[in-house]
Amino acid sequence: MSSPKLMRSERKLFGTDGIRGVAGAFPLDPETSFAIGCALARHLARTAGRRVVIGQDTRESSMSIADSVSAGLAAEGVEVESAGVITTPGIAHLARCRKFDAGVVISASHNPWTDNGIKVFGPDGYKLPDGIELEIEHEIFAGIETASRGTTPGTLRGSSLPGSLELRLDYIEHLIAGVDPVVRGLRLVVDCANGAASTVAPDALARWGKELAVEFIHRDPNGQNINDHCGALYPETVARAVVERKADLGITFDGDADRALFADANGKVVNGDAVLLLAARDMKAAGRLRNHLLVATTMSNMGLEAALKKSGIRMLRAPVGDKYVLEEMRKNGATLGGEQSGHIIFLDDATTGDGLLTALHVLHMVGRSGKSLAELVGDLKVFPQVIKNVRVREKHPLMEIPEVARSIREAEQALDGNGRVVVRYSGTEALARVMIEAESEQQMHRYADSIVAAIQQALGV
């Protein structure tokens, strides 16, 4: 049997978070989107699956892609029910709790509005394993080949399915039932990124925390403003708003709201590492942190590991991608895991990262403690860290490029255990990411610049 790592490299369409690309171009053109729906239906037929729930974010291309995928599913006899604009974790919840055979989300998460994507969840609410994604890819390419011979069944477009308010309310009820309300009033600024949170966050927070005073920003999507200088890609936006409005706390989501970042009352951004520290301590005190363990990724700061160790908590590292964090959590019996970027998985409550659920947990912990967010995470001493992105024309194995491999080895030898070097490709974009941590900022920038230059020379656009 092929190893998971080998299967990841074999896949041509699926990345770490579904299928991504430029909307309207392969593989998100109508014909291929239709073929993806057909391929998923054929996969489901092997287990007698006949019901799928579909949702989408607020990009102007999301409806047409949802239509094409739905048409492909319907052409193979699958019943499709739409939840309309809803968060990615909302679809994961509905797939599991409403007994659907699969859930599909049309979203490119934090990417620009010109991109889009297709994510698939199984009936258990988990993202599909790499091996199943590879099988579906084979079906997709077979379907494309059939279409090229003019034998594609049905139509390439479906009629737009109305979104079910009942399904969205089901998800909101799940959120507010899982976390006790805050015990004191807080003034909040919430940035919805002009994305899927715009349709869910206001109702969820109003129903959950009646003592909360909430001001929403960037909750007016127009199809092209999702993630546009707002949301979790730009956490400084909500941080500034918190200071200007003299609020207690800020929350900011990405386009499909599967992650959340925060800002304290001083306007300091609180990232996923700090949230993991806060949640791990709280869960350990309550006896809910199984095995005194959490799972982070290779990108989490060394300072998090040190702070957790002082609290008697072990940290394991997984490859980047909440899908792989979850795999490591299930393998090691962990109930908490996540990423520096704000994907936090509370496995007792959900099967995937959920920005709204994370927000409710943080608000609950802050409200119950009587302390500010800054006080609760103030002892997290962060090693200087820089992350640089290099746009590449192809994803050739980096350690097989002599000048890149040499620059990475030089950095590792120089840091000698007093820092970290992580160089990897993005799973969702044509980018190489270079992350350096070091006690010396001068060293950090020198080696990051050296590796970036080597990648640009070999692979840069």
Residue 200 clears pLDDT 60, i.e. is over it: yes
Q: Is 391 exposed, middle or buried (0-12, 13-18, 19+ CB in 10 A)?
A: middle
pLDDT above 70 as % of the chain? 94
Q: How are strands ordered across the β-sheet holding 79-85? A: 14-15, 18-22, 115-121, 102-106, 51-56, 79-85
At residue 63 the predicted structure's pLDDT band, cuts being 50, 70 and 90, is: very high
Collapsed DSSP state (helix, strand, coil) of residue 451: helix
pLDDT of amino acid 334: 98
From 61, 70, 107, 109, active-site residue? 109
pLDDT of amino acid 4: 42
At residue 310 the predicted structure's pLDDT band, cuts being 50, 70 and 90, is: very high
Residue 346 clears pLDDT 60, i.e. is over it: yes
pLDDT of amino acid 18: 92
Integer angstrom CA distances of residue 7 from 160, 322, 399, 428:
35, 17, 19, 16
Bridge-partner residues for 262, per DSSP?
Answer: 251, 270
pLDDT above 90 as % of the chain? 82
Count CB-CB contacts under 10 A for residue 309. 11
Distance of CA 238 to the CA centre of its chain: 19
Identity at 48, one-letter amino acid code = A
d(C-alpha 160, C-alpha 22), whole Å: 21
pLDDT (tens digit per residue) in 219-261: 999 999 999 999 999 999 999 999 999 999 999 999 999 999 9
Asked, colleague to colleague, whether 4-167 and 179-376 share their fold, the answer is: yes
Mean pLDDT is highest, among 10-14, 208-212, 407-411, for 407-411
Q: Among residues 238, 225, 258, which one has the least CA distance to residue 190?
A: 238
Q: Is 174 exposed, middle or buried (0-12, 13-18, 19+ CB in 10 A)?
A: buried
Beta strands at 260-264 and 269-270: parallel, antiparallel or unpaired: antiparallel
Per CATH, the homologous superfamily of domain 385-459 is Alpha-D-phosphohexomutase, C-terminal domain (3.30.310.50)
Residue 269 clears pLDDT 90, i.e. is over it: yes
Rg (CA), the chain: 22
Residues 373-399: what's their mean pLDDT? 94
Predicted TM-score of the model (pTM): 0.86
| Catalytic residue check, 407 | no
294 touches 344 (CB < 8 A)? no
Count CB-CB contacts under 10 A for residue 148. 10
pLDDT (tens digit per residue) in 399-447: 999 999 999 999 999 998 788 999 999 888 899 999 999 888 999 999 9
- Domain locations in the chain? 4-167, 179-376, 385-459
pLDDT of amino acid 147: 66
- Mean confidence (pLDDT) of the chain: 92
Q: Among residues 93, 101, 85, which one has the least CA distance to residue 201?
A: 85
179-376 adopts what CATH topology?
Alpha-D-Glucose-1,6-Bisphosphate; Chain A, domain 3 (3.40.120)
Residue 14 belongs to what H/E stretch? strand 14-15
Mean pLDDT is highest, among 239-243, 317-321, 382-386, for 239-243
pLDDT (tens digit per residue) in 351-363: 999 999 999 999 9
280 touches 259 (CB < 8 A)? no
Residues 102-106: what's their mean pLDDT? 98
Which residue, chain included where needed, has tokens 């707002």? 230
Q: What CATH class does 4-167 carry?
A: alpha beta
Identity at 379, one-letter amino acid code = D
50 touches 77 (CB < 8 A)? yes
Angle at 47 between CA 45 and CA 53, to 5 degrees: 70
pLDDT (tens digit per residue) in 109-151: 999 999 999 999 999 999 998 899 999 999 999 888 776 555 4
pLDDT of amino acid 6: 37
Beta strands at 314-318 and 293-297: parallel, antiparallel or unpaired: parallel
The token pair that represents 219 in the structure block = 């909750």
pLDDT of amino acid 8: 47
Residue 161 clears pLDDT 80, i.e. is over it: no
